[in-house]
Amino acid sequence: MHEMKTSSINRPFTGIASFLRQRAMQDVKDLEQAAIAVLGVPFDEGSPFLPGSRMGPRSIREQTLRFSVAQPLYDLDCDESYLWHEIANGLILDAGDVDIRPANAARSFEAITARLREITRAGAFPVVLGGDHSITWPVFAGLDQPAHVIQFDAHQDYEPATDELNRTNSHAFRHIAGMETCLSITQVGIRGIRNPRSDVEEMRARGNRVLGMTESRRLGPEGIAGLLPERSKVYVSIDVDALDMSLIPGCVSGEPDGFDYRQLMAMLKAIASRHEIIGFDFVEVNPPLDVPTGATSYLGALITVGFLGFICNQPWWHERRARYASR
C-alpha cells in the first residue's frame, strides 16, 4: 500500500491570502521578530469619484500568492534575486489591516497613524497597501522621523484644505508639506490638465519639486534619485496612476502619457540604491473596476514586491538587517 505524499503544492487559489504567504500577525509582540511589516489600509472614503480601492490590499495580497517563495525570486533581465534571506528567515510579517471606522475619516486616520507607530516603534520597516491616496498623510504622520518624500503620481494631491473638504485623496500632500518631519517633497510624473497652475507654483515656492513627464524622462532614474543628497532618509509613495492609463484598468484616475512598468521600476531601483528608504506605500488600485485577470492588482503586487526586493539588496539594508539578527 502506497502512502500519499503530503507536501504542499500551494497553488495561488489555495491557502490564506497573506502577503507572499508569510506569517500573519497574531499579536503585537510578533512585530518584535519582524524586519518588515506589511500593513493593509482598506480605506477609500477619500475618493470623491468611484469607490472600490478599499479592496486593494486584499486583492494585491491575493496576487502575491502567484510568486513561488520556495526559492529566491529571480529577475532574468537584471540577473538578480530578491528577498530570499528575508523569506527564509521569517523576517517578513503580514501585519493585517487597519481597523477602519466607516463614515468616520478622522477616527480612521487616527487608527492608521497608531498602527504605523506600532510598527516603527517595534523597529520594523513598514510596507503599506492602500486604499486611496488620502492614507499617505496619516501613514507619514506615524513614522515620527524627518524624511524627504518622493511621490510617483499623475496628480499633485495638493488641493487647499477647507472645512468642507480636507481628507480626500487630493489633500494628502497639502497636509504632509506642512509637517515638521517633511524635509521636502519631490513629485514625479505629474501630468494631464487636472493639476492647477496655482498648486504647482505654490508647491515649488515652498522649496519642493514638481516634475512633469518631459522633465522626468529627461532626468531619468539616476537624475531623479540624484535630486536629493546621497543616503538621505526617504519615504516613497506610489500611486498606481503614475503608470500609463493603458496599463491600469483597475484605477479610477488614470491619465495618458504615464510611465511604463520598466521605467517606474528603474526609478525605484535608483532611489533604493542611493537613499535609505524608511517605508513606502502603494495606493489607488480599484479591484471592482479591474479586468477579470486582476491585471492592475498583479501590477501592484509586482511593484510592491520588486521595490521591496531592491531595498533588501542594498548595503544599507544589510547593515540594518544585522541589527535584527542580534535582537
Close Cβ partners of 49 (under 8 Å, ≥ 6 residues apart): 252, 253
CA distances for 47 relative to 42, 43, 51, 286, 321, angstroms: 12, 9, 6, 11, 37
Using CA atoms in the order 105, 154, 60, 315, what is the torsion angle rounded to 10 degrees?
A: -110
Over the stretch 306-322, which tens digit does the pLDDT of each residue have? 999 999 999 999 998 87
Rg (CA), the chain: 19
| Residues paired with 209 in a beta bridge | 186
Query: Strands 209-212 and 80-82, how do they pair?
Result: unpaired
Report the pLDDT value the prediction gives residue 4, as an integer from 0 to 100: 47
Main-chain phi, psi angles of 239, to 5 degrees: -90, 130
DSSP state of 243: B
Report the pLDDT value the prediction gives residue 7, as an integer from 0 to 100: 66
pTM to 2 decimals? Answer: 0.96
Q: Which residues of the chain have pLDDT under 70?
A: 1-7, 324-327
Give the three cell numbers for residue 14.
Answer: 489555495
Report the pLDDT value the prediction gives residue 13, as an integer from 0 to 100: 86
Main-chain phi, psi angles of 201, to 5 degrees: -65, -40
Report the pLDDT value the prediction gives residue 326, as an integer from 0 to 100: 62
Closest by CA to 143, choosing from 48, 280, 29, 274, is: 280
| Residues paired with 188 in a beta bridge | 152, 211
Residues 242, 307 contacting (CB under 8 angstroms): no
CA distances for 285 relative to 57, 59, 97, 186, 195, angstroms: 8, 9, 16, 22, 21
Report the pLDDT value the prediction gives residue 272, as an integer from 0 to 100: 98
CA distance 55 to 62: 11
Domain ranges of the chain: 19-161+168-325
Its CATH class, for the domain covering 19-161+168-325, is alpha beta
